[in-house]
Amino acid sequence: MKNCLVAQSGGPTAVINASAIGVLEEALESKCYDNVYAGINGIEGILNENIVNLSQMPYKKLKTLKYTPSSGLGSCRYKMKDYRFSSLEYEKLFNIFKEKQIEAFFYIGGNDSMDTVRTLSEYTKLNNINVQIIGIPKSIDNDLMETDHTPGFGSAAKFIATTILETYLDSSVYPSKGVFILEVMGRDTGWLTSCAALAKIGNDSVVDFIYLPETAFIKAKFLEDVRNKYKEQNQVFIVVSEGIKDENGLLLGDDIVNSTHDNFGHNQLGGVCRNLKDLILESKITSRVKTLELGVTQRSAMHCISLVDLEEAYKLGQEAVKYSCQGVTGYMLAIRRLKGDLYETETILVDPSKVANHIKYFPKSWITEGNNWVTAEAISYITPLIQGSPVLPMKNGLPEYTTLKELIKEGL
């Protein structure tokens, strides 16, 4: 008996389940594995032996998980101890694998998850354990090194740009239009925020200013830009990253004061748009200032996903199984963009140690001189990733989503 196991970790995306279904379908079709197990709630759930056999669930219903947002297998932000100081967790994990005859483990996640892939790979090599470890990337933040982009980013970009168009039109209906500030996720990088540049009506961008964490946010310059633009057109639309910092490196958001950190030391940010609103009101530029924090909608908006993103996420799941059948272990799959006028990619293998604990920042060369907009190169980079819209399963006028909890509860 030869089995494999797939699990998800970190923040969800709209297409993370497509990678899991890619693993499932390729494993079954290739007949490389007899059973495909799923770890519920990532590595933490596996250690608690919260494991289900996907192969025993009716495929017809399970496959619709591909068109369901969020982490269908559950998630976690669990950091395993350093095996050099304590190997108990590792011993327990691989005993569980041995019991269920699991010979390949596919971990779908972001930076922190690739750190887990790295440590597990190292441990198996040091201890001659015959379990293949392969990482499958995901992140709406697009901040993983060694890959052109990450599954989840394209769909989040499409949702953000679409929401900007809709809120711009909504904010433009009155004679006194005022200032609209939209806050986008991005603790360390401005990839998501840069997507605001895609929002156009005709050939004209609807966003006036874009502020990213990669450059210092100067309050005086910001107020000058807003004041001048408001005098010019009686309306200003601003998109800002939650992670922007001033010239002293201090975050502008106010929600971090009482926030808690996860096991990887990350805190939750927010409140930037409210602080910028106060700045504008205090400067008496206008008394009409509206704000919107997109929050988790950016990573769960299945109704607005990119077909390209969905297909790439699914393909990475398939390719992970194909590589494992060839004996590959200890790598993360990545996407390489090919040169040429047409958008084409290929799947490559990268060392997870080059991904874990590293951040791919938005290129400063793609930020304009005034630090309040992005260049044409950024727009050309993002545009292919938001193309196409899949047809979603519908029921009674709403998307028909599937959860493992539902399947298990029904006893299917």
Catalytic site residue from 112, 115, 141, 225: 141
Q: CB 395: neighbour CB atoms within 10 A?
A: 8
Distance CA 31, CA 77 (A): 32
The residue count of the chain comes to: 412
Which residue carries 């704000």 as its tokens? Answer: 291
Distance CA 375, CA 125 (A): 45
Distance CA 236, CA 343 (A): 34
Amino acid in the structure at residue 262: D
208 given a catalytic annotation: no
∠ CA 257-44-142, nearest 5°, is 60
Distance CA 63, CA 141 (A): 26
CB half-sphere exposure, 47, CA atoms < 13 A: 14
Element (H, E) at 5: strand 3-8
Q: Is the sign of the CA dihedral 296, 404, 327, 117 positive or negative?
A: positive
Distance CA 367, CA 21 (A): 37
Residue in 346, 343, 347, 345 with CA at minimum distance from that of residue 384: 343
Hey, which residues does 107 pair with through a beta bridge?
A: 7, 135
CA gyration radius, the chain: 22
Residue in 331, 336, 371 with CA at minimum distance from that of residue 134: 331
Report the b/e string of 189-221 with b at 16+ CB within 10 A.
bbbbbbbbbbbeeeeebbbbbbbbbbbebeeee
Residues annotated catalytic, as ranges: 141
